[in-house]
Amino acid sequence: MAGHSQFKNIMHRKGRQDAARSKMFSKLAREITVAAKMGTPDPDMNPRLRLAVQAAKAQSMPKDNIQRAINKASGGDTENYEEVRYEGYGPGGVAVIVEALTDNRNRSASNVRAAFTKAGGSLGETGSVSFMWDRAGEIYYPASAGDADKVMEAAIEAGAEDIQSDEEGHTIYCGFEDLGDVAKALEDTLGEADSVKTIWKPQNTIPVDEERAQSLMKLIGVLEDDDDVQNVYANFEVDDETMARLSAA
């Protein structure tokens, strides 16, 4: 597993998501509104909106909040958000991709650059690290969906490209363009997934020690706390023993 995925699991277990629930809902709502504004407000006819709604449901976002975010797209006072991608290097030469939805590009760029600089990293130009990643679909099921063999068989039948299972659940990867079809096929077999989303998947990962991992996790935390930042990806990898110590800290 890439370091960022492990990091997310740690933060989930520590309850950080619960503490930042309001901020998380705000980001989910922003993505729903933007998706609805770019296409039709009907999730069945708008793939991006459908994924945004699924992501919101997976985080137990109330239905009223979801509908309000969709309705906001048709309002005349809706902010004009832009999609911006920032790329750079964190501590230890680890590549980092930051996706943002912002109504002020200057503010977002300044905040992201400050976070990289403070962590000892550097912000680069668009395209400076993304060539080392693949655009992919990611579908997550909890362990209760079935054992590794059952989920693997369902994933292969659905047209997935890869699956990683552990005691907590199953992460299924597929082609970027195939996400909707694969997710639908898996839903027919395994039920509704906990998460369905597009991601940046690193082609290779960089092993880092405990000190470097702590610095990277701090950088990711600072970036994700920014209201404009939607997603952060980093291509580092941490061994199980180090990750266990970080989890207990």
Q: Could you read off the pLDDT tens digit of each residue along the chain, which spans 249 residues?
A: 344 454 444 444 444 445 567 888 889 999 999 999 888 888 888 888 888 888 888 788 999 999 999 998 877 556 788 899 999 999 989 999 999 999 999 999 999 999 999 999 999 998 999 999 999 999 999 999 999 999 999 999 999 999 999 888 999 999 998 988 898 899 999 998 888 888 999 999 999 888 998 899 899 989 999 999 999 999 998 887 877 777 766
- Determine, yes or no, domain membership for 218: yes
Residue 45, classified by CB atoms within 10 Å of its CB into exposed (0-12), middle (13-18) or buried (19+), is exposed
Give pLDDT, residue 77: 55
- Give the pLDDT score at 20: 67
Phi and psi angles of residue 230, each rounded to the nearest 5 degrees, phi first: -95, -45
Q: Which residues contact 101 (CB under 8 A, 6 or more apart)?
A: 27, 30, 31, 34, 81, 82, 83, 84, 228, 230
Judge if 106 and 198 occupy the same domain.
no
Amino acid 226 reads: D
The residues, any chain, with a CB within 8 Å of residue 218's CB and separated by 6 or more, are 119
Do 229 and 120 fall within a single domain? yes
> What is the domain range of residue 13?
3-72
> Is residue 77 in some structural domain?
no
**Phi and psi at residue 135, to the nearest 5°:** -75, 130
247 belongs to a structural domain: no
Describe the strand order of the beta sheet including 95-102 as a list of residue ranges.
122-124, 82-89, 95-102, 229-234
The model's pTM: 0.83
Clarify whether residues 109 and 217 are in a common domain. Answer: yes
User: Residue 25's domain is classified under what CATH number?
Assistant: 1.10.10.200
Instruction: Report residue 100 as tokens.
Output: 């943002």
Residue 48, domain member (yes or no): yes
Total domains in the fold of the chain: 3
Q: Are residues 89 and 45 in the same domain?
A: no
Give the per-residue pLDDT at 228. 93
- Rounded Cα distance, 87 and 169, in Å: 30
- Indicate the residue among 72, 95, 118 that finishes a domain: 72
Helix (H) / strand (E) containing 136: strand 133-142
